[in-house]
Amino acid sequence: MAVLICGGAGYIGSHAVRALREQGREVVVLDSLRTGHRQSLPADVPFVEGDMRDPAVLDAIFARHTVESVLHFAASSLVGESMQLPLQYFSNNVHGMQVLLEAMVRHGVERIVFSSSAAVYGEPDSVPITEEAPLRPGNPYGESKRIMESMMRWAAAAHGLRYVSLRYFNVGGAAADGSIGEDHRPESHLIPLILQVPLGRRPHITIFGDDYDTPDGTCIRDYVGVEDLIEAHTLALRHLEAGGQSDVFNLGSEQGFSVRQMIETARRVTGRPLPVVVGARRPGDPARLVASSRKAGDVLGWQPRQGVDEIIASAWRWHSRHPAGYKK
């Protein structure tokens, strides 16, 4: 019995592959390698390079492996890019989900754990954000995740699938041993961009606006370590395997950190100078996003352990050992 990991060669998916294998589970990975890295996976893992939107690719996997559950990480995930290329996002994310669910129904695969996002909420009325907050995504990326959640809900009602949708807040860090980590090209996320400064790959970090209505004027986010995040996927899988019902959970630490606090933490962790330039706001950035993760604690028993110091320290171990990321 195998778990199919769609997008398993990406940043978060590759950490899931490792964790599931450590638990002794059989996994099969599907990844198009458009943004993922084959080198992030163990050499001996069953791996299919292909596009999820091709039903023949999924049929071949389901015919060859006895798949009991799916972890679905495969999606385009850049907010700014989604504003430029909305139809590409709907194709890859929404159509990808349609083809995946159809294949699951065809082959009688009944469980799916899905990577959703805090982007489904848009600008919140208040923080911490609970799962009951209104869904008002402010960009095509968040909209695509909202639609993907709805598709699972309706498919579950009609076909007896069960799903867990995990709404990630800001994911950061790397495997504790620094052997796999984050490598986006181009990079757009705060933690890896900050760490490029002490690595000598950029002269300074630009703060996108310091005139927000927050204590130091910079945006506040809720950072969750990638290993803690993967732990939630394992718990979600067990929840479904134990007969648990379909559900939606926020995954965050319930603590907000400003951009300036993250830079200060990186100075402390790396022990290197970190010059800062204050730039313009990035369009579409909410001032504050902080999760209530109480439901994930109550229902799944999930408790994130890593604080921002540890998240940045693990990211630093990965980036300082692999300054240019994975070899192409």
Chain centre distance of CA 180? 15
Q: What minimum distance in Å lies between the beta carbon of 110 and ligand UDP?
A: 31
221 touching ligand UDP, by CB under 6 A: yes
Phi, psi of 125 (to 5 degrees): -70, -35
219 touching ligand UDP, by CB under 6 A: yes
Judged by beta carbon, residue 60 or residue 208, the one nearer ligand UDP is 208
Query: Is 141 a known active-site residue?
Result: yes
Taking the C-alpha atoms of residue 250 and residue 267, their distance in angstroms, rounded to an integer, is 29
Judged by beta carbon, residue 41 or residue 171, the one nearer ligand UDP is 171
Largest CA distance in the chain: 57
196 touching ligand UDP, by CB under 6 A: no
CA distance between the termini of the chain: 32
170 touching ligand UDP, by CB under 6 A: yes
Judged by beta carbon, residue 207 or residue 291, the one nearer ligand UDP is 207
Of these residues, 11, 141, 163, 223, which one is catalytic? 141
Touching ligand UDP, residues 55-84 (CB under 6 A): 79
**Buried b / exposed e across 5-30, counting CB within 10 Å, b at 16+?**
bbbbbbbbbbbbbbbbbeeebebbbb
293 touching ligand UDP, by CB under 6 A: no
Judged by beta carbon, residue 268 or residue 282, the one nearer ligand UDP is 282
If you search the block for the tokens 């134990």, which residue do you land on?
Answer: 242
Taking the C-alpha atoms of residue 294 and residue 12, their distance in angstroms, rounded to an integer, is 22
Touching ligand UDP, residues 21-40 (CB under 6 A): none
Taking the C-alpha atoms of residue 1 and residue 109, their distance in angstroms, rounded to an integer, is 11
Stretch that binds ligand UDP, among 126-134, 203-211, 291-299, 319-327 (CB under 6 A): 203-211
Q: What minimum distance in Å lies between the beta carbon of 170 and ligand UDP?
A: 5
3-class state of residue 104 by DSSP: helix
The answer to whether the beta carbons of residues 67 and 2 sit under 8 Å apart is yes
Helix (H) or strand (E) holding 91, with range, is none
Alpha-carbon dihedral 121, 123, 126, 128, rounded to 10 degrees: 50
- DSSP notation for 201-216: SSS-EEEE-S-SSSTT
Judged by beta carbon, residue 63 or residue 280, the one nearer ligand UDP is 280
Judged by beta carbon, residue 107 or residue 189, the one nearer ligand UDP is 189
Chain centre distance of CA 247? 18
Q: What minimum distance in Å lies between the beta carbon of 56 and ligand UDP?
A: 34
Q: What minimum distance in Å lies between the beta carbon of 305 and ligand UDP?
A: 21
Could you give the string, one character per residue 229-268, with x where binding to ligand UDP holds by CB under 6 A and - elsewhere?
Answer: ------------------------------x---------
Q: What minimum distance in Å lies between the beta carbon of 101 and ligand UDP?
A: 26
Q: What minimum distance in Å lies between the beta carbon of 206 and ligand UDP?
A: 5
Taking the C-alpha atoms of residue 113 and residue 70, their distance in angstroms, rounded to an integer, is 6
Touching ligand UDP, residues 173-192 (CB under 6 A): 188-190
Touching ligand UDP, residues 100-159 (CB under 6 A): none
Judged by beta carbon, residue 207 or residue 315, the one nearer ligand UDP is 207
Q: CA geometry: angle at 283 spanning 91 and 293, to 5°?
A: 75
Phi, psi of 276 (to 5 degrees): -125, 140
Binding residues (CB under 6 A) for ligand UDP: these are 79, 170, 188-190, 193, 205-208, 219, 221, 259, 282, 285
Catalytic residues: 141
